[in-house]
Chains A and B, each alone.
Chain A
Amino acid sequence: MEITGAQALIKSLEHEGVEVVFGLPGGAILPVYDPILDSPIRHILVRHEQGAGHMAEGYALATGRPGVAMVTSGPGATNIVTPIANAHMDSTPLVVVTGQVARAAIGTDAFQECDITGITMGITKHNFLVTSASEIPRAIAAAFHLATTGRPGPVLVDLPKDVAQSTMEWWYPAGVEELDLPGYRPLAGVDEAALERAAALLATSERPVLYVGGGVLKARAHEQLRAFAERTRIPVVTTLMARGAFPDSHELALGMPGMHGTYAAVTAIQRADLLIAVGTRFDDRVTGRVSAFAPGAKVIHVDIDAAEINKIRHAEVALRADAAGALGALEEMGAAPANLDVWWKEIRTWQESYPLTYDPPAEAGPLRPQQVIESIHAASPEGTVVAAGVGQHQMWASQFWRFEEPGTWINSGGAGTMGFGVPAAIGAKVGRPERTVWCIDGDGCFQMTAQELTTARAEGIPIKVAILNNAYLGMVRQWQEMFYEERYSEVYLNADLPDYVKWAEAMGCVGLRARTPDEMRAAIEEANAITDVPVVVDFRTDTSEKVFPMVAAGASNDDIMVHPSQRGRA
């Protein structure tokens, strides 16, 4: 069957089981937007291409399936660079299709030409410039294969306009062998000898910690993790990328490690004699000063990406494997430490002395941001999905929400991209329409991508947004307060400008405002009761509130600063 390249592209996406594409058309991608009209694939028209990228990420994080975005050449393509970089840092499977100028025009500085494969070389898992229509199926099949196997990540396919317009005889690769990827062999299987050594290290450990990263979610290894943890009784810390990989309500859960981690999680790692690091990469936001990180611990490092092993921290045992495979194999061997009662007794004292806390709110307001998050959590259905922006509100969300299952925390970790929250929440809601989706956003972040609420309203995607409006770029303000002698430089935003309620209403959403605890409870109830349109709630929160615990950048995790009310405790 003879079809156009554009038709072949859409047909290829259908072949890959794509149900939704987030995008915005333009000259170079125009041919591809025609066959979309005849396809069962849902297209969601965004208001800015960055929104398309983050929506695709939110979709992927909520469903585990690759997110797909499509944009035009030049500025369309550069507008989606930030989400691509974000997905690269967080190993999120993404396929991004960009239009490109016609082949003959490439290299001539043609209208809306830009070397997007060059620009994204360092922030994609791989990218392709397709040079003939007959190659489209292979490129798309390869893109999905690369994005979703091994360590997942974003893959970009750049499609020149004349290739989309030319014709080809339809075919589709029958399997991986036809993808022409001689250099790509994602790891599979667990090395028996390394397993034996891991079991031996475990057997002699008295203070082990399971240091769990986003790889556990990517590998869907949460059940293996739980089985292994419950049998061995090893305490579990879940990084920012792994919230939801292990239930926060579980007695073995210590919460999040790192810069704003719980005292118990941070300290357990510091005192550990063995870290079982699974699908995690010793990020500086977790380790603090690397030379002082977990100084007495040996390391068993499980990672699908061999380049992560020994990159930051030497691993006594390297298991280059998928988290599910490695944890499953350790479980099968019955590898276990001895009795951990003494260790747990110590950990319990840390948990009791230094729980997450905040000052009690005043009845007249302003609201405590932590209280807003706890109240939304309490009033929302089980399994509610939470997306966040980047800043203080993100840290409070990760601390004070209770994550019980995978796919419920949609967050920008490695890149820390302000503006991620709203579009990512929209993508998550598209992927899991039956769930309530809340975006916990900052006033600064909201202003970066709020226009996508117009998309949400137009497309019937009823998310809820909680703006923790502290009138500041709060996280930066916190650093200036603590480390720059309260010299506040360019961080004030003004709580009343813009008027978030009117802005929400202008975008066809319901806009609410809450200044006191009573108004807060009423607004949350009202927001949860609205299920047909997006809702935005402007929560007026305390400007001076800071995130604790905190380890200053580059400091040792031993120098963790607890909440002021807890200082001086033993």
Chain B
Amino acid sequence: MSPEPFLGDVEHSPVRHHILSVLVENKAGVLARVAGLFARRGFNIYSLAVAPAESHERFSRITIVVDAETAPLEQVFGQLHKLVNVVEISDIAPDDAVEREVLLATIPTDVDNRTSLLDVIGAANASIVDVDAHHVTVMLAATPAGCDALERALEAHPGVELHRTGRVAVPRLGVPTHEPMRSR
């Protein structure tokens, strides 16, 4: 895995990234198999999100953003397909993807920063999901670029604690995409 934090959108990212949507069997150790393969072969993962897929019991979907420089796509596909638990892989070019990511941030608040903070939250279209006397927790579900922008804006506030999920993606409607490759 990359030690660097993921820097999201195309303008800010110097890397050519690719989004792989990998349907895997929902069995113990499958994530380790996928992550281990990437580590072994020297493919860098920029972000990774996992959740149960459509048919919850049997399959999970792993959305992996890879650095296309370290990971020739044909090799990533070929090697991933050899994992017996990988059922289907589709690759979505960033330009053809609808991508979303969730950002959660808890920010210390006081009388001095409350107004500016509300401005930032409003401008980003983020929502306040939790508050106490001294903190506010905001949530944003947006493009990686949108999350980047909010992250930068919130960095100005000392003591902010911020988490991001890593992106998930589906092909943009109306754009012809690659057929999902069935496993072999």
Which positions in A face B, CB cutoff 8 Å? Answer: 117-118, 121-122, 125-126, 129, 146, 150, 181-187, 305-311
Distance from A159 Cβ to chain B, minimum over Cβ atoms (Å): 15
> How many Å from the CB of B141 to the closest CB on chain A?
31
Query: Closest residue of chain B to A150, judged by CB?
Result: B184
Closest to B28 in A: A129
Q: Within 8 Å CB of B25, what residues of A?
A: 182-183
Interface centre among B29, B88, B182, B184 (most CB of A within 10 A): B184
Asked whether any CB of chain A lies closer than 8 Å to the CB of B21, the reply is no
- B24 & A183 in contact (Cβ 8 Å cutoff): yes
Let me know if A307 and B75 touch, CB within 8 A. yes
A540 to B25, CA, bound (A): 57
- With A121-B33, A184-B84 given, name 6 new contacts (CB 8 A): A121-B32, A183-B183, A185-B182, A307-B78, A309-B78, A311-B78
A309 to B72, alpha carbons, bound, how many Å?
Answer: 12
Task: Give the residue of A118, A129, A307 whose beta carbon is less than 8 angstroms from that of B81.
Answer: A307
In the assembled complex, which residues on chain A have CB atoms less than 8 Å from the CB atom of B83? 183
State the 4 A-B residue pairs at the shortest beta-carbon distance, nearest first. Answer: A307-B78, A183-B87, A126-B84, A183-B183
Measured between C-beta atoms, what is the minimum distance from A306 to chain B in Å?
5
Q: Which residues of A contact B37 (CB under 8 A)?
A: 122
Set of chain A residues within 8 Å of B81, measured between Cβ atoms: 306-307
Given A183-B25, A183-B183, A184-B183: A307 touches B32 (CB 8 Å cut-off): no
Which of A118, A121, A125 has the most C-beta atoms of chain B within 10 angstroms of its own C-beta? A121
A305 to B58, CA, bound (A): 26
Q: Are B84 and A185 in contact (CB under 8 A)?
A: no
Contact status of A307 and B79, CB under 8 A, knowing A122-B36, A183-B24: yes
Are B40 and A122 in touch, CB under 8 angstroms? yes
Given A306-B184, A307-B79, check contact A183 B33 (CB 8 Å): no
Q: B residues near A, CB below 8 A? A: 24-25, 28-29, 32-33, 36-37, 40, 58, 72, 74-75, 78-79, 81-88, 182-184
Contacts of A305 in B (CB 8 A): 78, 82
Asked if A121 contacts B36 (CB within 8 A), the reply is yes
**A to B CB contacts below 8 Å, 21 in the list:** A118-B29, A121-B32, A122-B37, A122-B40, A125-B82, A129-B28, A129-B29, A146-B84, A182-B87, A182-B183, A183-B25, A183-B83, A183-B87, A185-B183, A306-B81, A306-B184, A307-B79, A307-B81, A310-B74, A310-B75, A311-B78
A185–B83 CA distance with the chains assembled, in angstroms: 11
- Least Cβ–Cβ distance between B182 and chain A, in angstroms: 7
Bound-complex Cα distance A118 to B84 (A): 15
The CA-CA distance from A186 to B82 in the complex, in Å, is 9
Chain B contacts of A186 at CB under 8 A? 184
Q: Bound state CA distance, A301 and B101, in angstroms?
A: 41
In the bound complex, how far is the Cα of B33 from the Cα of A129, in angstroms? 14
- Chain A residues with CB under 8 A of B85: 183
Across the interface, name the chain B residue whose C-beta is closest to A122. Answer: B40
**B86 contacts which of A183, A308, A309 (Cβ < 8 Å)?**
A183
Q: Which of B33, B84, B183 has the most CB of A within 10 A?
A: B84
Most B CB atoms within 10 A — which of A122, A129, A186, A309? A122
Which chain A positions have C-beta within 8 A of B74? 310
The interface residues of chain A lying within 8 Å CB-to-CB of B75 are: 307, 310-311
Q: How far is the CB of B107 from chain A (nearest CB, A)?
A: 38
Bound together, the chains give a CA A125 to CA B86 distance in angstroms of: 13
CB-CB nearest in chain A for B40: A122
A306 and B78 contact, CB distance less than 8 A: yes
**Separation of A311 and B71 alpha carbons in the complex (Å):** 11
B138 to chain A, nearest CB (A): 38
A307 contact from B33, B40, B58, B82, Cβ within 8 A: B82
Candidates B36, B40, B78, B84; contact of A183 at CB < 8 Å? B84
Could you tell me the distance between the alpha carbons of A129 and B27 in the complex, rounded to whole angstroms? 11
Q: Which of A117, A122, A182 contacts B29 (CB 8 A)?
A: A117
A118: chain B residues at CB < 8 Å are 29, 32
A118 to B31 alpha-carbon distance, docked (Å): 12
Q: How many angstroms from the CA of A117 to the CA of B85 in the assembled complex?
A: 14
Measured in the bound complex, the distance between the Cα atoms of B32 and A118 in whole Å is: 8
Shortest distance in angstroms between B51's beta carbon and chain A's nearest beta carbon?
18
Chain B residue with Cβ nearest A185: B184
How far is it, in angstroms, between the C-alpha of A78 and the C-alpha of B72 when the chains are bound? 33
CB distance from B37 to the nearest CB of A (A): 8
Let me know if A181 and B84 touch, CB within 8 A: yes
- Give the distance to chain B from A325, nearest Cβ to Cβ, in Å: 15
In whole angstroms, what is the CA distance A182 to B81 when docked? 12
Chain A residues positioned under 8 Å from B58 (CB to CB): 182
Q: Which residue of A lies closest to B80 (CB)?
A: A307
Contacts of A182 in B (CB 8 A): 25, 58, 87, 183
Contact (Cβ within 8 A) A125 B32: no
**Complex formed: what's the CA distance from A52 to B159 in Å?**
59
Write the nearest CB–CB distance from B134 to chain A, whole angstroms: 40
